[in-house]
C-alpha cells in the first residue's frame, strides 16, 4: 500500500480552508487511491475554530483520511509535509495602505519559508493561494533557498477556470468542452486572460474559440474585464470572498501538477520565470504549463500578437513593482 501523502493547509480555519479540506480528504486533489494526512495550521485566535474543523473531519469518517494534525505551531505543522497549500494571509482592512497589507503578508511568508525549509519533506510542492499570491510565493522562494524554485508556485487556476466558465456560458456548451485558455501574469486585476489559443470541442470537431465567438468586443474587452473583476463580483453577491471555487481550483492545480495534464491541454500556473516570453527572470508569473512526472514546463512557441504583448508587459510591470515594495517592507534592497 502507498504511504499516505502529508498535506499542509495553512489558514485552515478560514473560509477557503473549510471548503478545501473535505475536497482533499475525498481524493479530489491527489486521486481516489491516495491516502492523506492533513496538517492544519492557523494562529492562536483561531485555535478553537481550527479544532472545530478537525472535529468535523473526524465526524465525516473519510476513508482516505488517515490522520489530522491541527496546530498553531508552524514548525510542527510543516514537519514532513509533501504538499503545502498556503491559504494563510492578512486581509486588507478598511483604511489600510497597500504597503501595510504587503508588509504583514511578506513577513508571514518569510517566516513560513524558513519553517518549510527546515521541516518539509524533500521535494515538497508548494502552492501559495493567499494574496498577493505571486509576491508571497516569490518571498517564499527567496527565503527558502534549499527548496528547488520549481517547487514553489501560486494559484491562477481559479482565473483560468473563470475564463473557461465564461466561454462555456457564452457558447452554451459545457466547461469541459473548452480548453487552452491562458492566464498571463499576476493574480490581480492586471491579469490577462488570453483566448487566442483556446479551442472548443463541438459536434463538428475542434474549433478555435475566436472562430465560434464572432463578437470581438466580447472577446477583447468584456471577457477580460469579467475575469479580472470576478473576485469583486463574488464578494458583492455572496458578501464573502470566493471560497468553493478557489478551493476547487487549488485541487485542479495540484492534481494536474502531481498526476499530469491531459494530452493536448495545458493549465495556468504562477511559476518562476526562466525568461520565457521575455518575462523578467525570477518573477513568479502565470504561464501556460503542461505537467508530467510531477514537473511543470512552460508551453513554448505560442504566437503572441501586439495586443497580448502589451497586456503581458503591463502585468509584468505590476509584479516588478510588487517585488520592490515587498523588499522595501523587509527593509532590504533587491
- Which residues are the active-site residues? 187
Verify binding: residue 21, ligand NAI, rule CB under 6 A.
no
Task: Decide whether 87 or 116 has the Cβ nearer to ligand NAI.
Answer: 87
- DSSP annotation of 151 reads G
User: Whole-number minimum distance, CB 110 to ligand NAI, in Å?
Assistant: 11
Which range touches ligand NAI (CB under 6 A), out of 54-62, 172-180, 242-250, 301-309?
Answer: 242-250
Helix (H, G, I), strand (E, B) or coil at 63: coil
Verify binding: residue 188, ligand NAI, rule CB under 6 A.
no
Cell numbers for 297, please give them: 514546463
Query: Which residue in this structure is represented by grid cell 456560458?
Result: 169
Detail the residues annotated as belonging to a binding site for substrate.
Answer: 92, 98, 131, 162
Our measurement of the distance from residue 177's CA atom to the centroid of its chain's CA atoms, rounded to an integer in Å, reads 22
Verify binding: residue 6, ligand NAI, rule CB under 6 A.
no
Q: Which of 9, 11, 164, 248 binds ligand NAI (CB under 6 A)?
A: 11
Task: Decide whether 236 or 303 has the Cβ nearer to ligand NAI.
Answer: 236
% helix, strand, coil for the chain, step of 5: 45, 20, 35
Verify binding: residue 43, ligand NAI, rule CB under 6 A.
yes
User: At 16, phi and psi to the nearest 5?
Assistant: -65, -40
- Burial of residue 43, with CB atoms counted within 10 A of its CB: 0-12 exposed, 13-18 middle, 19 or more buried: middle
Position of minimal CB gap to ligand NAI: 14
Detail the residues annotated as belonging to a binding site for NAD(+).
Answer: 11-17, 42, 105, 129-131
Verify binding: residue 83, ligand NAI, rule CB under 6 A.
no
Strand partners, 268: 288
Which whole-number Å values give the CA distances from 295 to 147, 148, 223, 272, in the listed order? 14, 12, 31, 13
Cα angle 89, 159, 143 (rounded to 5 degrees) comes to 40
CB 143 within 8 A of CB 113: yes
Helix (H, G, I), strand (E, B) or coil at 3: coil
Task: Decide whether 180 or 242 has the Cβ nearer to ligand NAI.
Answer: 242
Verify binding: residue 187, ligand NAI, rule CB under 6 A.
yes
Task: Decide whether 238 or 307 has the Cβ nearer to ligand NAI.
Answer: 238
Give contact residues for ligand NAI (rule: CB under 6 A).
10-11, 13-17, 41-43, 46, 87-91, 108, 129-131, 133, 155, 158, 187, 241-243, 246
Amino acid at each position: 500500500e502507498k504511504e499516505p501523502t502529508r498535506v499542509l493547509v495553512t489558514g485552515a480555519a478560514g473560509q477557503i480552508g473549510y471548503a478545501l479540506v473535505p475536497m482533499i480528504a475525498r481524493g479530489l486533489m491527489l486521486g481516489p487511491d491516495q491516502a492523506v494526512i492533513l496538517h492544519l495550521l492557523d494562529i492562536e485566535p483561531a485555535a478553537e475554530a481550527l479544532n472545530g474543523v478537525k472535529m468535523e473531519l473526524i465526524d465525516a469518517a473519510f476513508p482516505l483520511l488517515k490522520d489530522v494534525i491541527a496546530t498553531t505551531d508552524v514548525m510542527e505543522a510543516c514537519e514532513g509535509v509533501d504538499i503545502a497549500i498556503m491559504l494563510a494571509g492578512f486581509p486588507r482592512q478598511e483604511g489600510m495602505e497597500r504597503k501595510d497589507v504587503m508588509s504583514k503578508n511578506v513577513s508571514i511568508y518569510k517566516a513560513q519559508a524558513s519553517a518549510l525549509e527546515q521541516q518539509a519533506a524533500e521535494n515538497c510542492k508548494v502552492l501559495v493561494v493567499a494574496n498577493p499570491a505571486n509576491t508571497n510565493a516569490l518571498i517564499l522562494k527567496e527565503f527558502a533557498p534549499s527548496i528547488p524554485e520549481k517547487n514553489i508556485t501560486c494559484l491562477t487556476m481559479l482565473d483560468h477556470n473563470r475564463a473557461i466558465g465564461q466561454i462555456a456560458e457564452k457558447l452554451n456548451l459545457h466547461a469541459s468542452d473548452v480548453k487552452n485558455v491562458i492566464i498571463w501574469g499576476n493574480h490581480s486585476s492586471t491579469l490577462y486572460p488570453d483566448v487566442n489559443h483556446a479551442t472548443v470541442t463541438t459536434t463538428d470537431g475542434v474549433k478555435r474559440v475566436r472562430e465560434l465567438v464572432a463578437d470581438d468586443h466580447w472577446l477583447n474587452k468584456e471577457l477580460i474585464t469579467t475575469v479580472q473583476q470576478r473576485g469583486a463580483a463574488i464578494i458583492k453577491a455572496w458578501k464573502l470572498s470566493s471560497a468553493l471555487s478557489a478551493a476547487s481550483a487549488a485541487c485542479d492545480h495540484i492534481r494536474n501538477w502531481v498526476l499530469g495534464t491531459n494530452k493536448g491541454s495545458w493549465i495556468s500556473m504562477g511559476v518562476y520565470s526562466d525568461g520565457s516570453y521575455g518575462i523578467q527572470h525570477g518573477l513568479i508569473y502565470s504561464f501556460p504549463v503542461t505537467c508530467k512526472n510531477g514537473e511543470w514546463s512552460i508551453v513554448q512557441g505560442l504566437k503572441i500578437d501586439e495586443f497580448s504583448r502589451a497586456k503581458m508587459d503591463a502585468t509584468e510591470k505590476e509584479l516588478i513593482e510588487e517585488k520592490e515594495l515587498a523588499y522595501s517592507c523587509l527593509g532590504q534592497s533587491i
